[in-house]
Chains A and B, each alone.
Chain A
């Protein structure tokens, strides 16, 4: 078997919606295999799903990885920011790559359509936020094509049912992390993130609107760059589409994006959760195909 066909062994820690949906995506991937699915409670619905799929499971939390270091070369940490702060030094010491799904933001922020290559030498990357994954490609395109980007604002609407207790408790962290990501990738002087929950039934698809204030809007240039980036995003999130713009309305550049998910463990309307998972899988697959799996000595 040659190196290219060798699958990268991963573990998922955190057996909630994000972790379980990631598992299904990993099992479908030709580059990844799941060595362990780790939570805290063997009877949680995520665990039961993993058991039904014949995946090795554990309820021991991070201790399982410490005691079974061969179970993986890469860990998806889908626990919480608080837990990730505890986990990160342990993974680092063990030489495990980490894709951080929490807003802990210890490592470099990763948005695969924009900075995949920059992440290849990193051992801890952070997937920003769902709103960040949906909006940063657009914000980046604005930063690349417009002069004097004064301000970028991102408004996301998600279905209430796709916002679990952790999301609801962590709106402030969501806002802060998304704003930081927007600023870093667009170079805008100021950024703002807003999140709306919409309880309508049937559930609304995730939508994100990106507004920008720039010196002299150049829409044709932006449209060309956007179409290049959207193709890249669609290669890992097929349900990502621009439904309005780019246009100038009331003195603002407006672009509106809709994200329909793949409907794996999570329903298709939860494009907000799907896009961050798809981005994480794209990142992991890139590691599997090009990057060395182990940290070199003396790193």
Chain B
């Protein structure tokens, strides 16, 4: 008889979803969704600004709810689920951000860098590990390097003390074959667990997540209704349903996760994420999905086509966190357009 394969679910609805609402999730939003996710049996509930701890800024958008309020609220409303945070060195520092977060009872720390820069995570990973919490490394924008290079970076995270590595398709650029290749390369070369975080720019988030599970990934990220940056993430309740059909066990109650998704739609969202035309371009161009809102706003201000902005950002290999460059690119494209008209 075939053994049931286990998949652990990490749910960043209250973190990645913040991108979709300009980081305006309130403490009430956090409390209500935490209760629902906890009741459904979600393993890890991630909370915070879209770019993680300490990332509230003019560059990325200021959070309505400060980190300490978000974390204490979540803590009060989670009893079975673990409380997770996303931490990007260069934004979050150990003293200012990570230490206080751990004091508020965070259970899981996911330290993230651009896919080729894992070594900036060394101190944050080893510090979190030394404090006895669960630590994962996250490699963002992972489509920008080859599977072998991704492994090299993941190995660094393993050497710093990460207990698992999540590779993130931050632009929603992958196809299932891309994902399978990376999962198997990582599993062959690492002694720790592998997880996958899907975005849905090209409509592949669920298929890619399943490809990851089938190749041996044991942790998958998913958000209620796909609530996330741009076109959104893997839609959690759909992912749970498909995993159930494929006989994976997630420990999640289907009805209750469907209820959580309904609640999220009602309480958290201004609109349900859909694959808008600019998101397709963002996925094609390999630009971080979270750029959708600022690109749309700035393109409108400069009277240029947001799709041109995305392709130019992609050509320049701009990484997540470099939102300021959108302005410069927009100015340049507007100048070019003016010259063309003269």
Residues of A near any B CB (own CB < 8 A) = 151, 153, 155, 157, 160, 165, 168-169, 171-172, 175-176, 192, 194-200, 204, 207, 209, 211, 213, 243-244, 249-250, 252, 254, 256
Please report the C-alpha to C-alpha distance between residue A200 and residue B316 in the assembled complex, in whole angstroms: 7
Which residue of the partner chain B has the closest CB to A196?
B321
* Contact A172-B318, Cβ < 8 Å, known A155-B324, A197-B114: no
Query: Binding site of A, secondary structure by majority: helix, strand, loop or mixed?
Result: strand
Choose from B93, B120, B301 the contact partner of A176 (Cβ within 8 Å): B93
B327 touches A153 (CB 8 A): no
Other A-B pairs, 13, CB within 8 Å; known A155-B59, A211-B59: A171-B89, A171-B123, A172-B94, A192-B57, A197-B120, A198-B317, A199-B114, A213-B58, A244-B328, A249-B327, A254-B324, A256-B324, A256-B328
Give the shortest distance, in Å, between B209 (CB) and chain A (any CB): 26
Across the interface, which residues of B come within 8 angstroms of A244, CB to CB?
A: 327-328, 331
Across the interface, which residues of B come within 8 angstroms of A169, CB to CB?
A: 122-123
* Contact A198-B318, Cβ < 8 Å, known A157-B325, A169-B122: yes
Across the interface, which residues of A come within 8 angstroms of B93, CB to CB?
A: 171-172, 175-176
- B322: Cβ under 8 A from any A Cβ: yes
Give the shortest distance, in Å, between B129 (CB) and chain A (any CB): 16
Residues 296-342 of B contacting A (Cβ, < 8 Å): 297-298, 301, 316-319, 321-322, 324-325, 327-328, 331
- B116: Cβ under 8 A from any A Cβ: yes
Across the interface, which residues of B come within 8 angstroms of A211, CB to CB?
A: 58-59, 324
Kindly supply a per-residue 1/0 record for chain B positions 74-107, scoring 1 wherever the CB is within 8 Å of any chain A CB and 0 otherwise: 0000000000000001110111100000000000
* Contact A171-B319, Cβ < 8 Å, known A157-B325, A194-B59, A250-B297: no
Kindly supply a per-residue 1/0 record for chain B positions 286-302, scoring 1 wherever the CB is within 8 Å of any chain A CB and 0 otherwise: 00000000000110010
- B117: Cβ under 8 A from any A Cβ: yes
Which residue of the partner chain B has the closest CB to A173?
B93
Give the shortest distance, in Å, between A221 (CB) and chain B (any CB): 21
How many A-B pairs have beta carbons closer than 8 Å: the answer is 91
Give the shortest distance, in Å, between B87 (CB) and chain A (any CB): 12
Please report the C-alpha to C-alpha distance between residue A211 and residue B117 in the assembled complex, in whole angstroms: 25
Could you say which of B58, B93, B120, B123 has the most chain A C-beta atoms within 10 Å of its C-beta? B58
A243 touches B328 (CB 8 A): yes
Give the shortest distance, in Å, between B256 (CB) and chain A (any CB): 39
Residues of B near any A CB (own CB < 8 A) = 57-59, 89-91, 93-96, 114, 116-117, 119-120, 122-123, 144, 297-298, 301, 316-319, 321-322, 324-325, 327-328, 331
A256 touches B120 (CB 8 A): no
A197 touches B90 (CB 8 A): yes
Could you say which of B144, B301, B328 has the most chain A C-beta atoms within 10 Å of its C-beta? B328
Please report the C-alpha to C-alpha distance between residue A192 and residue B325 in the assembled complex, in whole angstroms: 18
Choose from A160, A172, A209 the contact partner of B123 (Cβ within 8 Å): A172
* Contact A256-B114, Cβ < 8 Å, known A195-B90, A196-B322: no
Across the interface, which residues of A come within 8 angstroms of B89, CB to CB?
A: 171-172
Q: 19 pairs across A/B with beta carbons < 8 Å?
A: A151-B58, A153-B59, A160-B116, A165-B119, A169-B122, A171-B90, A171-B93, A172-B89, A172-B93, A176-B93, A176-B96, A196-B90, A196-B319, A197-B114, A198-B322, A199-B116, A200-B316, A204-B316, A209-B324
A194 touches B321 (CB 8 A): yes
Please report the C-alpha to C-alpha distance between residue A176 and residue B91 in the assembled complex, in whole angstroms: 11
* Contact A172-B59, Cβ < 8 Å, known A165-B119, A197-B90: no
A160 touches B301 (CB 8 A): no
Choose from B57, B95, B319 the contact partner of A194 (Cβ within 8 Å): B57
Please report the C-alpha to C-alpha distance between residue A256 and residue B95 in the assembled complex, in whole angstroms: 29
Please report the C-alpha to C-alpha distance between residue A168 and residue B122 in the assembled complex, in whole angstroms: 9
Across the interface, which residues of B come within 8 angstroms of A151, CB to CB?
A: 58
Across the interface, which residues of B come within 8 angstroms of A207, CB to CB?
A: 324-325, 328
Across the interface, which residues of A come within 8 angstroms of B114, CB to CB?
A: 196-199
Across the interface, which residues of A come within 8 angstroms of B122, CB to CB?
A: 168-169
Give the shortest distance, in Å, between A169 (CB) and chain B (any CB): 7
Across the interface, which residues of A come within 8 angstroms of B327, CB to CB?
A: 209, 244, 249, 254, 256
Please report the C-alpha to C-alpha distance between residue A151 and residue B57 in the assembled complex, in whole angstroms: 10
Across the interface, which residues of A come within 8 angstroms of B298, CB to CB?
A: 249
Please report the C-alpha to C-alpha distance between residue A209 and residue B322 in the assembled complex, in whole angstroms: 10
Across the interface, which residues of B come within 8 angstroms of A249, CB to CB?
A: 298, 301, 327
Give the shortest distance, in Å, between B138 (CB) and chain A (any CB): 15
A194 touches B325 (CB 8 A): no
A200 touches B328 (CB 8 A): no
Give the shortest distance, in Å, between A203 (CB) and chain B (any CB): 11
Across the interface, which residues of A come within 8 angstroms of B119, CB to CB?
A: 165, 168
* Contact A200-B59, Cβ < 8 Å, known A168-B120, A254-B327, A256-B327: no
Please report the C-alpha to C-alpha distance between residue A208 and residue B176 in the assembled complex, in whole angstroms: 38
Give the shortest distance, in Å, between B332 (CB) and chain A (any CB): 9
Across the interface, which residues of A come within 8 angstroms of B95, CB to CB?
A: 172, 176
